[in-house]
Chain A
Amino acid sequence: MLFYLQLPIYALLSLLRMTLAYLISVLFSLSVGIMAGKYEKAEHIIIPLLDILQSIPILGFFPIAIIFFMNLFGYIGAEISSIFLIFTSQAWNMTFGVYEAVKLIPRDVDEMARVYGIGKLLYLRKILIPATMTKLIYNSAMSWGGGWFFLYASEVISVSNAQISLPGLGSLLALSLMETPPRVDMAVLSVVVIMFLVSFTYLFIWRPLIEWSENFKYEYSAGERKRIRLFEIPRVKIPPFLYRSFFRTLKYVRRSPIRDIMMKTGGFIGRKARSMRIAFTLLLAIFVVYAAVKTVLSITPESISSEYIREPFLVLMASLNSIRRVITVLLISLSWALPISILVGRGKHWNEFMLIFEIAASFPVPVLWPFLVRYIVLPLGEWGFEVAAIVLALFGAQFYVLFNSLAGLRSISSDLEEMRRVFLVKGPLYLRKILIPGMFPSIVTGLITAWGGAWNALIVAEYIKVGEEIFPRRKDQYGLGTLLSIAAWEKGDVSSVIFITAVLSLIIITINRTFWRFLYNYSTKFKVE
C-alpha cells in the first residue's frame, strides 16, 4: 500500500541523495581540478584519467558499485552506491571546468600575487576559487541537471531487486505503477513533484547563480560577442523579489557564525596539516584493508561462475544488439533535432523555446520507464520491448543533439548571415555551403555526447522485470544491459558483471578513440576562429 504521506518524505530522501552527491562533487572538483591546474605532474595523470572516466557509461558500473558497497556496509551500501553513481555523473565535467578556469587565470595576476607576497591560503581564497566560480557554477548547473537522471535510474533499478531498497520519488513512481490495479494518481503526483524539483532548482537556484557568477570572469576584450554554450541560459525574467531574497540569504549566510567556524576550521587544518595528513592516510589504509578482506571473504562459487565468459557468441550478439539500438537512437535524434534547430534557431521566440527545451531535457528519463513498461512492453511483448528501449534511450540522448546544433547555428557569425542575405544566398545553397558546414563541429559534439547518453539509458532500458517475468524474453533480443543486469541481479555472478562491464567499456572507448575522434578532428576544419 502506498500513502500520500510518502510523497514528501520520499521527495526529501531523493533531494538529500542529490545534495550529498553534489557536495562531494564540489569538494572533489575543486581539490582535484586546482591540483591539475597548478601542478604539472598531477596534470599529466589526472587529465587523461578524467578523460577516460568521462567517456565510460556510468550506469554500467552501478551493479559493481552496489555489489561492492553492499558487501562492505550492508543496507546502507545501496545508499552509498546511489550517491556514488550520481557523484560519478557530476564530478568529471565540473573538475574539467575548474581545471580550465585555473589554467585561464592570466599570468599577470599570478605574478601580481607573487610580487605582493600573497600567502597560499589567501591566494586560494581570493584568487583561485573565485577564478573557478564561473565555470564551476555553470558546470554545476549542467551536472545537477544530469544528476537527476542517475538518481532516478538508481531508484528505479532498485525496485526490481528484492535486496536493494532506495526509497525515493523514482521508486515511488515505479512501485505505484506496478501495483494491481496501478495507482495512476500516485504516479502522476510523483511525476509532478519530480518536475517541480527539476524546474525549481534550475530556475531559482542555478539561473541566478549563473548570472551572479559572471562577475568572476576575467574579461579579455570589451566588445566581445557572447559565445553560446551548451544549455545557454535564456534571459527570461525572474521576479526581482526572488533575486533579492536569494542574495539576502547569501549575505546572511556570509555574516553568520558559519563563516567564522569554517574559517577557524580551515585555519586549524592548515596548522595541523601534518598530523591531519597522517590521520587521513591511516584511515584510508584501514578502509582499504577492510574492503579487501571483506571482498575476498564474500567470494562464493556463484560469484565466480563466470557464465558469460564461456558464451562469447551470446556476448557478441548482445553487443551488436546494443550498438544497433544506440545507432538507431542517434539517427532518430539527428533527423528531428537538426531541422527543428534550423527552424527555431533564428526565430524571434528562441529564448522561450530554449527554456522549454531545457526543462524538457532535464526531465529525468528513467521515471518514464515504469510508464513504458506498463503501457507498451506488457501489452505488446517483444516488439513493445524494442520500441520502449529505443524510446527511453532516445530521451537520454536527443536533447544533446538539439542543444548542440542550436548552439552551432547561433555560433555562425552575424556578418555571415548578413552577407548571405545581401547576396541572396538561400535555400539548398545556403544549407549546403553555410548552415550545415557551420553547424558541423557542434553537431559532432552533440552526437558524441548523445552517444554516451544513449548507452547510459540503454543499460536501464534493456532489462525489465515485472513480477517474475523478464524482458526481453528472447535471447536474440538481449543487449549488454540485459546481460549485465541478469548477471548482477539474477545470478549474483560478480565475475560476469565485471566481464560485461569491461566489454561495454572496451566497445565504447574503442569507438570513441577511432570513429568519433576521426569525425571530431575532421569537424575542426569548419570551426570559426
Chain B
Amino acid sequence: MLEVEGVSKYFISDGSKLEVIREISFSLREGEFVSIVGPSGCGKSTLLRMIAGIERPSSGRITFYGKEISSPDPRISMIFQSFALVPWLKVIEQVELPLRARGVENAKEIARKWLNLVGLSEFEEFLPKELSGGMRQRVGIARALAVEPSLLLMDEPFSSLDELTAETLRHEIIELWKSTPSLKSILMVTHNIEEAVLMSDRIVVLSRRPSVVLKIVNIDMPRPRNRRDEKFYDEVDEIYSLLS
C-alpha cells in the first residue's frame, strides 16, 4: 500500500547542504506492522513526516495506493511522541477536532466510542494538564484511530512514558490494530530496538546521517511475543550489531 522509492532529503542551512536521508527505499504491505530504527538524528522522524505529507522529499517519491503523497492524506493518521494535544481543549474535544475537520456529523458519538475503547470515558471533560502521561497518549491514540485511517504512523509513541505504562500501551496498540478492520497497517519510528522486535513484522534499520537502509529484518515470530525467548534475543542482537 505504501512505497518509498529512492527518497533523499537535505536541508539548506547557512548556505551549506545538510544531507539527512540518502536514497531510502522500502515498501509497506496491507496487514503489516513495520518499524524504522536507527541512531538518533538519522532522519527517521523526517521520513515519517514525509509519509504524513507535511514535508516533501528532496528527491525520490512516496506513493500511497499508487498515488504520490504531496499533502496529508485523510487515510493516514499519526501518533506523536509529545502527544501533540491542544492544551486548552477538553479530552473529548481533542478527539472530535479531526472528525469535525472532516465534517463528520456525529463527531461527538464517535469520539466517545474511541475514548471508551482506550479506557478514558470517565475523563471526557478533563484538560490534558490534568492527565498523566499514559492517559495523554491514550487520548492521542483515540484521536488517531477515530478518523478510521488505513495507515497509522507512530513517531516514538512510547518514549516519553515510563516503562510500565509504555509496555501496557504497546499491547493495547496491537490489540486495537487486530480488532479494527479498517486499520490495515502501522508504521512506527523508534530508537528502542526491543520495542521494535516486540511489535513489528519487519524492521527497517537505518544508518547514521546521511542515512541509508542498512538492512530490512524480518521478524517471524507469532504474537504475543515473549521477551525471554531466545529467538527474540537473537533478533535484538542482530540489530544492535548492525547499528554499532
Bound-state CA distance A3–B194 (Å) is 82
Report B-chain residues with C-beta under 8 Å of the C-beta of A254.
none
Cβ of B129 and Cβ of A529 under 8 Å apart?
yes
Q: Give bound CA distance, A422 to B143, whole Å.
A: 12
Name A415's contact: one of B72, B84, B98 (CB within 8 Å). Answer: B84
| Bound CA–CA A429/B54 (angstroms) | 19
- Asked whether, in the complex, the Cβ of A426 is within 8 Å of the Cβ of B101, the reply is yes
> Distance in Å from the Cβ of A243 to the closest Cβ of chain B?
16
Cβ B87 vs Cβ A528 within 8 A: yes
Among residues of A, the one whose C-beta sits closest to the C-beta of B140 is A419
A425–B97 CB distance below 8 A: yes
Q: Does B82 contact A (CB under 8 A)?
A: yes
Are B102 and A424 touching (Cβ within 8 A)? yes
Interface flag for A418 (CB, 8 Å): yes
Q: Which residue of A lies closest to B87 (CB)?
A: A528
Q: Is B88 touching A418 in the complex (CB atoms < 8 A)?
A: no
What is the distance, in angstroms, from A322's C-beta to the closest C-beta of chain B? 35
For B76, the chain A residues whose CB sits under 8 A away are 422
Contact B78 A422 (CB under 8 A): yes
* CB atoms of A423 and B89 under 8 A apart: no
Expressed in whole angstroms, the Cα–Cα distance for A434 and B100 within the complex equals 13
Judged by a CB distance under 8 angstroms, whether B86 is at the interface is yes
Pairwise interchain contact A423-B98, C-beta atoms closer than 8 A = yes
A423, A424, A426 — most chain B CB neighbours (10 Å): A423
Cβ contact within 8 Å between B80 and A419: yes
Tell whether B52 is near chain A: CB-to-CB under 8 Å.
yes
Least CB distance from B31 to A in Å reads 22
A424 touches B129 (CB 8 A): no
Residue-by-residue, is A487-529 near B (CB-CB < 8 Å gives 1, otherwise 0)?
A: 0000000000000000000000000000000000000011111
Contacts of A528 in B (CB 8 A): 87
* Cβ A422 vs Cβ B52 within 8 A: yes
* Interface residue B74 (Cβ < 8 Å from any Cβ of A): yes
- Chain A residues with CB below 8 A from B77, complex form: 422-423
Determine the distance from Cα of A247 to Cα of B162 in the docked complex, in whole angstroms: 48
Structural contact, A424 and B87, CB atoms closer than 8 A: no
Contact B88 A422 (CB under 8 A): no
Q: Which residues on B sit within 8 Å (CB–CB) of A421?
A: 52-54, 72
The answer on a CB contact under 8 Å between A433 and B97 is: yes
B101 touches A423 (CB 8 A): yes
**Hey, which chain A residues are within 8 Å of B54, CB to CB?**
418, 421-422
B49 at interface, CB cutoff 8 A:
yes
Closest Cβ of chain A to B139, distance in Å, is 12
Tell whether, in the assembled complex, residue A434 and residue B86 are in contact, meaning their CB atoms are under 8 Å apart: yes
Assembled-state Cα–Cα distance A429/B101 (Å): 7
When C-beta atoms are compared, the residue in chain B nearest to A526 turns out to be B88
Number of interface residues, chain B, beta carbon within 8 A: 25
**Residues in chain B near residue A527, CB distance under 8 A:** 87
Chain B, residues 91-113, CB within 8 Å of chain A (1/0): the string is: 00100011011100000000000
Min C-beta distance of B39 to chain A, whole Å: 16
Check: B147 CB closer than 8 A to any chain A CB: yes
Q: Are A526 and B87 in contact (CB under 8 A)?
A: yes
For the complex formed, measure the closest distance between the CB of A329 and the CB atoms of chain B, giving whole angstroms. 29
Question: When the two chains form their complex, are residues B97 and A415 in contact, meaning their CB atoms are under 8 A apart?
Answer: no
Considering the complex, give the chain A residue whose CB is closest to the CB of B143: A423
- Nearest CB of B to A239, in Å: 16
Q: Is the CB of A529 within 8 A of B87?
A: yes
CB neighbours (8 Å) of A529 from chain B are: 87, 129
Whether the Cβ atoms of B86 and A423 lie closer than 8 Å is: no
The CA of A421 and the CA of B98, in the complex, are separated in Å by 10
* Distance, CA A284 to CA B143, complexed state (A): 68
Residues of A within 8 A of B97 (CB): 423, 425, 429, 433
Contact between B80 and A415, CB atoms less than 8 A apart: yes
Q: Once the chains are docked, how many angstroms separate the CA of A526 from the CA of B143? A: 21
- Contacting residues of chain A (242-274) with chain B, CB-CB under 8 angstroms: none
Q: Quick check: B129 and A418 within 8 Å, CB to CB?
A: no
Residues of the A chain whose Cβ atoms lie less than 8 Å from the Cβ of B78: 419, 422-423
User: Is A222's beta carbon under 8 Å from chain B?
Assistant: no
Chain B residues near A434: list those with CB within 8 A: 86
Given A418, A426, A430, A433, which contacts B89 in the complex, CB threshold below 8 Å? A433
CB distance from B17 to the nearest CB of A (A): 18
| Contact A422:B72 (CB < 8 A) given known A415-B80, A529-B129 | yes
A109 in the interface (beta carbon within 8 A): no
Q: A425-B97, A425-B101, A529-B129 are in contact. Are A419 and B72 (CB under 8 A)?
A: no
Is the pair B86, A424 in contact by a Cβ cutoff of 8 Å? Answer: no
Decide: A429 and B100 in contact? CB cutoff 8 A.
yes
Query: Which residues of chain B come closer than 8 Å to A416, judged between CB atoms?
Result: 84, 86
Asked if A525 and B74 make an inter-chain contact with CB atoms under 8 angstroms apart, the answer reads no
B residues 61-76 near A (Cβ < 8 Å) are 72, 74, 76
Nearest A residue to B81 by beta-carbon distance? Answer: A415
Interface check A208, CB cutoff 8 A: no
A130 interface hit (Cβ, 8 Å): no
Give CA–CA (A429, B99) in the complex, Å.
11
- Complexed CA–CA distance, A255 and B101 (Å): 64
Query: Is A433 in contact with B72, judged by CB distance below 8 angstroms?
Result: no
Q: Does A437 contact B (CB under 8 A)?
A: yes
Kindly state the separation between the CA atoms of A437 and B93 in the bound complex, as whole angstroms.
Answer: 14
Partner of A424, one of B72, B82, B143: B72
Contacts of A424 in B (CB 8 A): 72, 74, 98, 101-102
- Chain A 421-468 residues near chain B, CB threshold 8 A: 421-426, 429-430, 433-434, 437-438
Alpha-carbon gap, A437 to B90, bound state (A)? 13
Bound-complex Cα distance A438 to B84 (A):
13
Q: Are B86 and A433 in contact (CB under 8 A)?
A: yes
Residues of the A chain whose Cβ atoms lie less than 8 Å from the Cβ of B101 = 423-426, 429-430
A415 to B76, CA, bound (A): 17
Q: Which residues in chain B, 93-143, are within 8 Å of chain A measured between CB atoms?
A: 93, 97-98, 100-102, 129, 143
5 contacts between A and B (CB under 8 A): A419-B80, A419-B84, A422-B54, A423-B72, A424-B101
Nearest 5 pairs of A and B residues by beta carbon: A423-B98, A419-B84, A415-B84, A425-B101, A422-B78
Instruction: A418-B52, A418-B80, A438-B88 given; name 11 further pairs at CB < 8 Å.
Output: A415-B80, A415-B82, A418-B54, A419-B78, A419-B80, A422-B53, A423-B72, A423-B77, A424-B74, A526-B87, A528-B87
Chain B interface residues toward A at CB < 8 A:
49, 52-54, 72, 74, 76-78, 80, 82, 84, 86-89, 93, 97-98, 100-102, 129, 143, 147
